[in-house]
Amino acid sequence: MSKIPRILVVDDDAEIRNLLDRYLSGQGFRVATASDRHDCTERIAETAPDLIVLDVMLPDGSGLDICRELTARRSPIPVILLTALKEDVDRIIGLELGADDYLGKPFNPRELTARIRAVLRRSAQIDTVDDETVIHHFANLCAEPRLRRVTRDNGEEIILTGAEFDLLRTFLERPGRLLSRDQLLDLTQGRDRDPMDRSIDVLMSRLRRKLGDSPDGPFFKTVRNGGYQLTVPVRSERT
């Protein structure tokens, strides 16, 4: 990336804030910190961060509420949630609300840095303006990656979170291919799958619900011990 990425760290633990401020600054990022939800809102307005590292538990509310607000505003700022190891429900809800990734506490700063770089790489690829625009037509739907928009033939827009759109795009770029959970996690989030990681299953469930069925039946097929497969033909055109 040509500019130095700006990272906002939101955590009520001063030790964690100071640790990540020093470590991420040493890794070449510009770092701002916030200790609570109110402080986070002010820092977003002041610093326009490229990514937010967000603790779920805050003294004046929940990080999930911040995720909900960013999604409602259709903010493009990616979010990595920090959660306690036993807060599996919060992780799943976070993904549903639009978080791009999550990491359990306690965590290794090196792993968090790797997650940050992976999410920023995906965001940079999404934001890159090419000479050609690809539009994917499948069944009665149309997906426009540059605009990150999915619409039905009647013009109705289907609102997807960033993670949901990335998952759909992965299938559209590999039509008819059976993709395992490990492959999907690597392609969409740039990391290996933890045996307890349910993020792909959660996102698939939400994607299926939002897309509904095609005129000929379900868009996706689940293959036991194999993964998921997009079952409808895809026609991609460049304009």
Query: Once rounded to an integer, what is the mean pLDDT over residues 90-102?
Result: 75
Task: Please report how many Cα atoms fall inside a 13 Å half-sphere around the Cα of residue 14, on the Cβ side.
Answer: 0
Say how far apart CA 43 and CA 37 lie, in whole Å. 10
What is the rounded average pLDDT of the residues 164-181? 90
140 and 100 both lie in a single domain? no
Does one domain contain both 114 and 211?
no
In a domain, 82, yes or no: yes
| Residue 211: CA count within 13 A, CB half-sphere | 28
Q: Do 116 and 172 belong to one domain?
A: no
pLDDT of residue 131: 39
pLDDT at 11: 95
Q: Is residue 189 a part of any domain in this protein? A: yes
Looking at 127, 152, 177, the residue that finishes a domain is 127
**Which domain does 44 fall in, by range?**
6-127
User: Does residue 205 belong to any structural domain of this protein?
Assistant: yes
Rounded mean pLDDT of 164-191?
84
pLDDT (0 to 100) of residue 1: 43
Residues 143, 121 share a domain: no
DSSP bridge pairs for 178: 229
The verdict on 118 and 168 lying in the same domain is: no
CATH number of the domain within which 53 lies: 3.40.50.2300
Percent of the chain at pLDDT exceeding 90: 45
Statement to judge: residues 105 and 15 lie in one domain = yes
Higher pLDDT, 233 or 1: 233
Provide the 8-state DSSP code for 219.
S
Q: Between helices 199-211 and 88-96, what is the axis angle to 10°? A: 40
Residue 130: the pLDDT is: 43
* Domain identity same for 146 and 220: yes
State the pLDDT at residue 140.
94
Q: Rounded mean pLDDT of 183-208?
A: 75
Residue 97 shares a structural domain with residue 143: no
146 domain-assigned? yes
Domain presence at residue 1: no
Q: How far is the C-alpha of 14 from the C-alpha of 185, rounded, in Å?
A: 32
Kindly state whether residue 58 falls inside one of the protein's structural domains.
Answer: yes
Pair 112, 44 in one domain: yes
**Quick check: 51 and 5 in contact, CB under 8 A?**
yes
Tens digit of pLDDT for each residue in 99-155? 888 888 888 999 899 889 888 877 665 544 443 578 999 999 999 988 888 999 999
Structural domain total, the chain: 2
Residues 138 and 123 in one domain: no
Does the residue 204 lie in any domain?
A: yes
Please indicate, yes or no, whether residues 158 and 141 belong to a single structural domain of this protein. Answer: yes
The domain spanning residue 223 has which CATH number?
1.10.10.10
**What is the model's pLDDT at position 125?**
52
Question: pTM of the predicted model, to two decimals?
Answer: 0.62
Boundary of a domain, candidates 112, 127, 142: 127
How far, in Å, CA of 140 to CA of 158, rounded?
Answer: 12
Last residue of a domain, one of 83, 105, 127: 127
Q: Are residues 187 and 234 in the same domain?
A: yes
Angle at 180 between CA 174 and CA 186, to 5 degrees: 80
Rg of the chain on CA atoms, in Å: 18
Q: Is residue 25 part of a domain?
A: yes
Which letter does DSSP use for residue 50 in this model?
A: S
Angle in degrees, CA 222, 225, 229, rounded to 5: 30
> Using the 8-state DSSP alphabet, how is residue 176 labeled?
T
Say whether pLDDT at 165 is over 90: no
Q: Please tell me the predicted confidence (pLDDT) of residue 50.
A: 92
